[in-house]
A = this chain, B = another copy of it.
Amino acid sequence: MFFHNKGLQFEASPSKPDPIYAGRLQEVLGGQWGEMTVAMQYLLQGWSAHMPGKYKDMLLDIGTEELAHIEMLATMIGKLLEGAPADAQQKAVDGDPAIAAVMGGMNPQHAIVSGLGAVLKDSNGVPWQGSYVTASGNLMADFHYNVTAEMQGRLQATRLYNMTDDQGVRKMLSFMIARDTMHQNQWLAAIQQLKDDGLEDLPVPSAFPQSKEDQSVSYQFWNLSTGTESREGQWAQGPSPDGKGQFDYLENPGPLTGEPRPPLPAKELYVTGNAAGVVSGVVDKVKDALT
């Protein structure tokens, strides 16, 4: 269970309002790679972790921290929205290009819906959703997702840093960017730890016997776009990162089998091709197989 301290993890106070920028900042709160995603994801991975101990504890530590980041962003967005124009707009648009730009560029829901508060949506007003989150039960697979989440998150935060010259906003972002640095490193260290602990290896899931996969194509690069520049990468030659194969470049690949037989129509579904009854015998055969 959780306890809340009203103090913020870090100060969230802009030098002055900026309603357009408030809309931009929604991206890292409620976007695909925003704080909602990482908070709920790390907590869910922690709650579903199939082993007690350091991994589960670490997941819950960081998930709990990300909740604080949602709070900081919601606070900052509220303050950036202060004083946004809420009265007759046409007049403003006609008379003043700066206000016109604010009217045109701010998220209208910030005024109409939330009364100048943050929303759980991205910078275009699209709601955050539970399918942004991944918790597969396989920590190696999930930790790689966590790495990219922190990379995308830091990338977006640095872009937002460059989009403002407000010192208060930049101060908060400099804290969040530093935490993303930590978390990128943390997940990379955790991936190494999983290997060192013998819990998982490449390719994921390593417990599935590779003898059951079609090993003739396990390390083969298929050149399917014109040009052979792709041959020049280390993904097309030399040993594979899992240490279990040698990359091989298939320069002129083609289909390994012919055109498939079309699926057989079921008469009661009125699909095109069943009118002449040509295929009905086959359908009966399929029905026999099913029952």
Nearest residue (CB) in B for A130 is: B120
Decide if A262 is an interface residue (CB 8 Å cutoff).
yes
Contact A185 B242 (CB under 8 A): yes
Each complex incorporates copies of this chain amounting to 6
Contact A11 B114 (CB under 8 A): no
CB distance from A59 to the nearest CB of B (A): 9
| Complex Cα spacing A75 to B56, Å | 13
CB distance from A153 to the nearest CB of B (A): 9
| Complex Cα spacing A139 to B273, Å | 9
Most chain B CB neighbours (cut-off 10 Å) among A2, A17, A272, A290: A272
**Chain A positions 1 through 37: 1 when the CB is less than 8 Å from some CB of chain B, otherwise 0:** 1111111111111001111110110010011110010
CB distance from A170 to the nearest CB of B (A): 8
**Chain A positions 252 through 278: 1 when the CB is less than 8 Å from some CB of chain B, otherwise 0:** 001111111111111111111111000
Contact A6 B225 (CB under 8 A): yes
Q: Which residues of B contact A118 (CB under 8 A)?
A: 44, 47-48
CB distance from A219 to the nearest CB of B (A): 6
Q: Which residues of B contact A154 (CB under 8 A)?
A: 203-205, 208
Q: Which residues of B contact A273 (CB under 8 A)?
A: 49-51, 199
| Complex Cα spacing A210 to B177, Å | 9
Nearest residue (CB) in B for A284 is: B83
Contact A8 B1 (CB under 8 A): yes
Which parts of A44-91 form the interface with B (CB within 8 Å)?
44, 46-58, 60-65, 67-68, 70-71, 74-75, 78-79, 81-84, 86-91
Report, nearest first, the 10 A-B pairs whose CB atoms are least far apart: A115-B137, A104-B105, A7-B255, A124-B125, A120-B130, A48-B117, A205-B270, A137-B271, A78-B263, A1-B68
What are 13 of the A-B contact pairs (CB < 8 Å)?
A1-B67, A3-B5, A3-B225, A11-B256, A51-B262, A52-B259, A58-B229, A82-B266, A83-B264, A93-B102, A121-B131, A138-B155, A185-B241
